[in-house]
């Protein structure tokens, strides 16, 4: 948790408007999960202080996964294992492990602390998934990235 706190503090803007609009924008495209379908990373709403956000990695059934986070806006695209990542490798941290069900969707509930110091913090999220749905020796599936900003309004 200490690593995440450092990432958040490093991602906070120095001046934050009186009202900060939260956003969660997709970046790029994930690698193929189910045949013909790219792996995705979506949210039910952008992160607002004092509220909950549900993050949904999808695209591979019965998968073990890791949700990664890095500070700031997406980094330039970097090829990784035949896919692309937009994470800043200098501020990379594991946010949480997860699993997907038989429908290929995971659910990660995030309680955004009601702390105004987080207003304006920008983060990039991306997930990797692997497991029994992949052929032996296949690299993990990587989702699209999400560029998020923590706000006090949608």
Please tell me the distance from the alpha carbon of residue 154 to that of residue 136, in angstroms, as a whole number. 43
Please tell me the distance from the alpha carbon of residue 138 to that of residue 103, in angstroms, as a whole number. 20
Q: What is the mean pLDDT of residues 123-139?
A: 88
Q: What is the mean pLDDT of residues 46-65?
A: 94
Please tell me the distance from the alpha carbon of residue 111 to that of residue 101, in angstroms, as a whole number. 22
pLDDT band for position 137 (cuts 50, 70, 90):
confident
pLDDT band for position 51 (cuts 50, 70, 90):
very high
pLDDT digits (tens, 9 = 90+) for 62-118: 889 999 999 999 999 999 888 999 999 999 999 999 999 988 899 999 999 999 999
pLDDT band for position 38 (cuts 50, 70, 90):
confident
Tokens in use for 26? 């997709």
Tell whether domain 2-149 is in CATH 2.40.180.10. Answer: no
């Amino acid at each position: 948790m200490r690593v995440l706190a450092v990432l958040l503090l490093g991602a906070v803007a120095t001046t934050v408007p009186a009202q900060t609009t939260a956003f969660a924008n997709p970046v790029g495209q994930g690698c193929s999960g189910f045949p013909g379908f790219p792996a995705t990373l979506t949210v039910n709403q952008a992160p607002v202080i004092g509220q909950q956000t549900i993050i949904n990695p999808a695209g591979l059934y019965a998968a073990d996964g890791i949700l990664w986070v890095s500070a700031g806006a997406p980094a330039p695209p970097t090829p990784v294992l035949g896919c692309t990542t937009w994470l800043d490798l200098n501020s990379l941290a594991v946010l949480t492990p997860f699993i997907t069900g038989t429908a290929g969707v995971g659910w990660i509930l995030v309680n955004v602390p009601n702390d105004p110091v987080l207003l304006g913090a920008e983060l990039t999220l991306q997930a990797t998934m692997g497991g029994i749905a992949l052929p032996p020796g296949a690299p993990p599936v990587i989702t699209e990235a999400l560029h998020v900003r923590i706000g006090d309004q949608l």
